[in-house]
Chain A
Amino acid sequence: GEDVEQSLFLSVREGDSSVINCTYTDSSSTYLYWYKQEPGAGLQLLTYIFSNMDMKQDQRLTVLLNKKDKHLSLRIADTQTGDSAIYFCAETPIRGSTLGRLYFGRGTQLTVWP
């Protein structure tokens, strides 16, 4: 089955860049996602990348995809204290009947120190 792995914790200083890494096993993944969860709340989509892309940039966020190594990363430039949250990597397989059924990593708790 699908397996998505992330490190559990990351701490950075305000103003530095944060890089959150994720690996996945399903080579047929179509879309890969980054979601953000603030304490006691649901998840919000930050960005996603289609599997035929290598990079996607959206303001302070840069997503890099290495399909050969099945590695996905999220870089947050100029990290702010408001970026402190849990970040989830997720993927959805190519099988059409399950599109929309996402497989999530365990989440990376990002702590930003002032």
Chain B
Amino acid sequence: DGGITQSPKYLFRKEGQNVTLSCEQNLNHDAMYWYRQDPGQGLRLIYYSQIVNDFQKGDIAEGYSVSREKKESFPLTVTSAQKNPTAFYLCASSPGLAATGELFFGEGSRLTVL
């Protein structure tokens, strides 16, 4: 079945360590996104990519990095520079500019910094 797969579902990290969250989609979508969700704060956009080898910062990009080397993959690295990384991270994709803008979400990755 087509969809978006995020891994791992749960991740624990010590302070000062970088960690990479995986996001893979087999929907043949051009655009991919990373959102961060904190309780009561809704979703905030970290990075997005509308095409392979190109990506843009969202509203809270500091302390994060991404790459888009393949259409189906958009990994997110949470670096040690991110001051408060404990959160629920959601990856999404959309068909691109020609569509209605609907996002298709993965099941999320919960990162806890110990």
Chain A residues within CB distance 8 Å of chain B:
8, 30-31, 33, 35, 40-45, 48, 50, 88, 92, 96-97, 99-102, 104-107
Residues of B within 8 A of A101 (CB): 33, 45, 48, 58, 101
**Least distance between A41 CB and chain B CB atoms (Å):** 6
Q: Assuming the A-B contacts A100-B31, A100-B50, A101-B45, are A42 and B99 also in contact, with contact meaning beta carbons closer than 8 angstroms in the complex?
A: no
Interface centre among B94, B99, B100 (most CB of A within 10 A): B100
Q: B41-56: which have CB < 8 Å to A?
A: 41-43, 45, 48, 50
> A100 touching B97 by the CB < 8 A rule?
yes
- Which single residue of chain A is at the shortest CB-CB distance from B50? A100
Q: What are some 22 contacts across the A-B interface (CB < 8 A)? A: A31-B100, A31-B102, A41-B107, A42-B4, A42-B92, A42-B105, A42-B107, A43-B92, A44-B105, A45-B102, A50-B100, A92-B101, A100-B48, A100-B50, A100-B99, A100-B101, A101-B58, A102-B103, A105-B42, A106-B40, A107-B40, A107-B42
Docked Cα-Cα span, A31 to B107, in Å, equals 24
Taking residues whose C-beta sits less than 8 angstroms from the other chain, chain B's interface range is 20 to 34
Q: B1-59: which have CB < 8 Å to A?
A: 4, 6, 31, 33, 35, 40-43, 45, 48, 50, 58
> B105 touching A48 by the CB < 8 A rule?
no
- Which single residue of chain B is at the shortest CB-CB distance from A45? B102
- Which single residue of chain A is at the shortest CB-CB distance from B96? A100
- Which single residue of chain B is at the shortest CB-CB distance from A44? B105
Residues of A within 8 A of B75 (CB): none
Docked Cα-Cα span, A48 to B75, in Å, equals 28
Docked Cα-Cα span, A106 to B41, in Å, equals 5
Docked Cα-Cα span, A44 to B6, in Å, equals 15
Q: Assuming the A-B contacts A104-B43, A106-B41, are A99 and B97 also in contact, with contact meaning beta carbons closer than 8 angstroms in the complex?
A: yes
> B101 touching A30 by the CB < 8 A rule?
yes
Residues of A within 8 A of B102 (CB): 31, 33, 45, 48
Residues of A within 8 A of B110 (CB): 40
